[in-house]
Structure 1
């Protein structure tokens, strides 16, 4: 079924930043076919019902769910098959789906190796597989866009900028001498290392698709009060985290073309993130 609307797939779209992305797109005047990628279809359907209830004005966009499990090749292949048979193309792919398992390791619920492998598999391997499968559909778009959601904690340059802003000081100040180190603050070692790897994946996809006209970015949405770090939204707000809606609006603006001059970069809402 061909559509005149821009067809956009958002992974991990039923909660957190993903939900705010689909909300920002749905509540704009630009018509989109918004595909809510989620591991559990019922959760995606619940997110759609919530979004419709929160939207007072009629939207020109459509909403549908699609089962997308980044840890399952079969799920990703089935998802792309569905996109192919239903739409025949994909205009925008937003890789928001991911996970952080540092707290699981800290709590003893996962081994260090299992936690690191799960973090990499969810955030990078699954993302790379889905991108690879989706490229033929993106190349059928007149304005294809590929967005990878990364993290402000992934900047290698800013690991040395300890006094630039309080959030960096919390991340990069060294702990006291001795071993084991105290388990204080947010557990992010694996997550930030993997997101740095995702930045390199974005650079390589920028290279591969440069002559195909695909616009590629990493989106660094800022310190948002989501549940990703296992700390809880309220605690994150106390630490200075922003409303996740701001991240959704930022992604919406990139989709609409407001950062086309910054393709191939890791971008924040107001600047380019240092490597």
Structure 2
């Protein structure tokens, strides 16, 4: 069916920054078809129930969609479902789904190779495959927007930053010798490398789709107290992380046109992130 509402797919939309992005859009007066992409439909349905409790009145519609970034069949089915429901159109794709797997190596759950491959499969490869499948739908939009959620840890320039406590933890030089002791947030090299790679994926899509009128960004929402690293919300807040709702509001602002002058760049609150 055709819809007058803007159609927005947020992968990983049932939790963390994805959930807060959906919520921020759901709270506005602008009507959207908000599609929560998730690996487990029941979790998406729980997220919808929570949203409707937190925001009793909205002109927007909510639905779930099975999106598994490690399964081509899931991604193909997801895009086919959107095409069937909305006359082949998608207005906004927020590539938010991803994960960290470095912490599973010392825990013995994954080998080093498995953790690195899973980091790239989830954060980069799956996202690129989904985007490739979704482009024909975006090209039917009057105002197509394509967002890749990256990280402040992805900037190569940021590896020289030892000013803030968060970057000091990330860029800490450990004592000589081997093996190195795990040191909190300094132990996520696969995640950082994958997000740096995702920035290049964004640049490629910006190059490919510029003359088609698709606006493309990587969005770096800042250090947020999500469950991404497996560390509890309270501990994250103590380390200086912000409420994920602030990140959701920022992603909403990008979707609604407040960073259109920075198309093709990595945008964060109040700044363009260096490469």
TM-score by length of 2: 0.98
- CA distance in 2 between partners of 1:240 and 1:177 (Å): 28
Q: Are residues 1:73 and 2:72 paired?
A: yes
Query: What is the SS of the residue equivalent to 1:254?
Result: helix
Name the counterpart of 1:155: 155
Name the counterpart of 2:218: 218
What whole-Å deviation, never above 9, does each CA across 1:67-120 have from its counterpart, x for those lacking one? 111000000000010011110200000000001001111211100000000010
Name the counterpart of 1:47: 47
Deviation, structure 1 residue 167: 1.6
Name the counterpart of 1:170: 169
- CA distance in 2 between partners of 1:156 and 1:12 (Å): 26
Residue correspondences, number? 273
Name the counterpart of 2:131: 131
- CA distance in 2 between partners of 1:70 and 1:35 (Å): 16
What whole-Å deviation, never above 9, does each CA across 1:14-70 have from its counterpart, x for those lacking one? 0111110100000011110000100011110010000000114x2010001111110
What whole-Å deviation, never above 9, does each CA across 1:162-189 have from its counterpart, x for those lacking one? 23x2221111121111111011212211
RMSD: 0.7
Q: Are residues 1:113 and 2:119 paired?
A: no
- CA distance in 2 between partners of 1:93 and 1:183 (Å): 36
What whole-Å deviation, never above 9, does each CA across 1:135-174 have from its counterpart, x for those lacking one? 00000000000000000000101111223x2221111121
Which runs of 5 or more structure 1 residues have no equivalent in the other structure?
A: none
Q: Are residues 1:274 and 2:274 paired?
A: yes
Q: Which runs of 4+ in 1 moved over 2 A?
A: none
Q: Are residues 1:142 and 2:142 paired?
A: yes
- CA distance in 2 between partners of 1:124 and 1:246 (Å): 24
Name the counterpart of 1:86: 85
Deviation, structure 1 residue 214: 0.3
Name the counterpart of 1:60: 59
